[in-house]
Structure 1
């Protein structure tokens, strides 16, 4: 029972992070009602996809990773593809968090030449300081993360305590300025439910107990859904759509969210509380994802028999995302959008492809996710659709999340 509870909290802790901060930024033009609809729909979609991994682990070793599962059904090609997608996904997430971290840190630094230079210096400092915990080892990450996560929870309660009394009911009934924004925002909301990369570790921790894994996934993902809805209630209720969009057009970063809450409520305390909560949520996400990327690179290099040390692995882990943040200092939303593409493949397309073969080869396994082949096809189409969204936005067929 303790392991099941612990696994549930790991799912919840992995999910609630930096993606939560992007939600008000991307849903400002959507309205609260449609935002809640999108959250519930994506939770159902990704819970279904996560349960497919439970089905797969009925016929796999408890410590089997995603690459091992993919190799079992699709050979070396499956392992290479799964590993490549996972790496791109993790790199995109780390890049998003470095970009977001530089945005938050830059306002605390004295101006160095100009705003862009200050942001770049902030990105380097953020990466060097918090990246050092990863290089030092998992133990240092664990100790730092416990303190940060507990503090983050306290500030989340404080932010809600300050914001909820200022909610204006009329703000909650505002309609989307463009219905297509619901589709355009889906990859970023999609990524905010991204705990699937931790499922192999959870299954190993639970000693292959798929019943406990199923409970952990459902309960652990429900906690973030509730937190996200309350968070959206607070931000959408406090900020009128027009004023929020105007501020975000001037500063479409995490600082824009903080500026908006401070300006609309007239309270400096709310701005400070949101800034601290935003920083803590982003840092805890950064530490967890960066550790996963570091270990993924370490396993990959060992498999191809290349010598490594923690310093060289640290450079491979952090240099590419840091360069992204230097050249795209406002790239938090952009990187999360492209991370959503990779995550859609990793969390939906890949498990559906493996389960399709599993059911053909082992039709009598006791646990099977409901819906049969029609549900697999429907979820696959939705996943591919989410992958295509950023390309459709770039091509002008869908509006950007800050358009209008």
Structure 2
């Protein structure tokens, strides 16, 4: 195992917390948030906010576990290196497969969602699958061209997304009804005998995915050096910003569409176009529909570029493809052909794909970090005969709680309608 690192040679000033916070928030906030009002409609307001808070704290805790493990190495050590040295090659193989699976499923979701948004917004006469194909190929070409192109494009798109988000919310507010948040109307709903908490279980993978940025933790260590308090603040503030975005978006969706309206969106397939159509039917306006569509589209594009760049680099590293033209072509084909073609032939899988991504993300962003932290804590106290301090006991308890959270999130997805169809879903 590598020794803890010293400050980087020539490093004169540590970057600001603001920059790292924006890295975390920009990675977390994306198209995944568009699914949250739809899948949370069964729980409604109280339980939804409880799951949101739980997910925030659990994902922050698991990110700090990765941070502690990464700080035992020199800045620049990859997540792959840390897992292999800490847990061995078997767990590292599972970690690699999980990361690859998450990225492929997210790319499929964003291809499907981007095509649906374009077709709905522009009223295109072509099949949605064909629109998804064009959308995926165009953005894949941007990633193939260069990382710098993705960087520049992402900055512009993020600024536009935030502006569109604010304008879209202001346009939806006239149709917002506060009483729906506490007492959703039931006159048009089918008879539902289940308590709202029964719908909580199937939502955990979706909320977990919406807070997932953990592959960026080694990048933060490389960027800041071994400055644990500063990086921890970046993680906290970045996830807090994302949680506030999610809370506002979910509550506005609840207050505008109501529980029965969101159930109808899910029943239609739950793609972004169905949500946009529902919003436009409730709050008509010459400009609201296009603005909400622009926000959704920009969210999908930024997510596609971020996940796509990560998948491109991951495939190049795993397959050993070089950065010359032929190598980049091979990387692009392996990385983008499967999810883009899947989005073409199965265009309504946005929610399903996000759920499957949550299953795999629970493994590499929650379960594996908890196991690494547990192994380190066990090694530290293995030869000690004195009682553990209160802090050490609390740390072990937290490891256990995070591990249980990850196992439950993964297990609940296997019991969801997308797999074994045991857990109830409000649709």
TM-score (normalised: structure 1): 0.92
Deviations 1:306-341 (A, max 9, x none): x96111111111111112212321100001000001
What whole-Å deviation, never above 9, does each CA across 1:343-385 have from its counterpart, x for those lacking one? 1011111111111121233459xxx898322221222112111
Q: Find the counterpart in structure 2 of residue 196 from structure 1.
A: 214
The 1:179–1:78 alpha-carbon spacing in structure 2 relative to 1, beyond 3 Å, is: closer
Distance in 1 of aligned mates of 2:331 and 2:392: 39
The 5 A counterparts of 1:385-400 are: 385-394=408-417, 395-400=420-425
Following superposition of structure 1 onto structure 2, how do residues 77-96 of structure 1 map, counting pairs within 5 Å? Answer: 77-96=90-109
Which residue number in structure 2 is paired with residue 382 of structure 1? 405
Tell me by how many angstroms 1:388 deviates.
1.3
**Structure 2: how far apart are the matches of 1:4 and 1:110?**
44
Residue of structure 2 in register with 1:110 after alignment: 124
Superposed, 1:57-72 pairs within 5 Å as 57-72=70-85
Q: Which residue of 1 aligns with 2:89?
A: 76
**Residue pair 2:37, 2:262 contacting (<8 A) in 1 also:** no
Match of 2:261 among 240, 243, 259: 243
Check the 8 A contact 2:321/2:327 in 1, yes or no: no
Task: Identify the residue that residue 44 of structure 1 maps to in structure 2.
Answer: 57
8 Å CA contact retained: 2:76, 2:221: yes
- Greater Rg over alpha carbons, structure: 2
Q: Does 1:166 align with 2:175?
A: yes
Change (3 A) 1:267 1:55: same
Contact 2:70/2:79 (<8 A) preserved: no
Task: Give deviations 1:53-110, integer Å, cap 9, x for gaps.
Answer: 1221331221111110011112332332222211111111111111111211223353
Stretch moving more, 57-66 or 273-282: 57-66
- The yes-or-no answer on 1:186 pairing with 2:172 is no
Matches within 5 A, 1:1-400: 2-107=15-120, 108=122, 110-112=124-126, 118-174=127-183, 178-302=196-320, 309-362=327-380, 371-394=394-417, 395-400=420-425
Q: Is the 8 A contact 1:49 1:348 kept in 2?
A: yes
Distance 1:178 1:215 in 2: 35
Distance in 2 (alpha carbons) for counterparts of 1:111 and 1:180: 41
Shift of 1:223: 0.4
Equivalent residue for 2:189?
A: none
Which blocks of at least 5 consecutive residues in structure 1 are unaligned?
113-117
**Alpha-carbon contact 1:50-1:196 (below 8 Å) kept:** yes
Q: Is the 8 A contact 2:270 2:350 kept in 1?
A: no
* Structure with the bigger percentage of helix: 1
RMSD between superposed Cα atoms in Å: 2.3
Structure 1 contact 174–241 (Cα < 8 Å) conserved = no
Return the alpha-carbon distance in structure 1 between the equivalents of residues 129 and 249 of structure 2: 30
* Cα offsets for 1:107-138 (capped at 9, x unmatched): 335324xxxxx111111101111111110111
Q: Any gaps of 5 or more consecutive residues in structure 2?
A: 1-13, 185-193, 385-390
The structural deviation recorded for 1:159 is: 1.2
Question: Residues 369, 243 of structure 1: CA spacing in aligned structure 2 closer, same or farther, 3 A cutoff?
Answer: farther
Q: Distance in 2 between matches of 1:73 and 1:250?
A: 45
- TM-score, normalised via structure 2 length: 0.87
Structure 1 CA distance for aligned equivalents of residues 423 and 269 of structure 2 = 21
Confirm or deny: 8 A CA contact 1:262 1:268 kept in the other structure.
no
Q: Matches of 1:122 and 1:301 in 2, distance apart?
A: 30
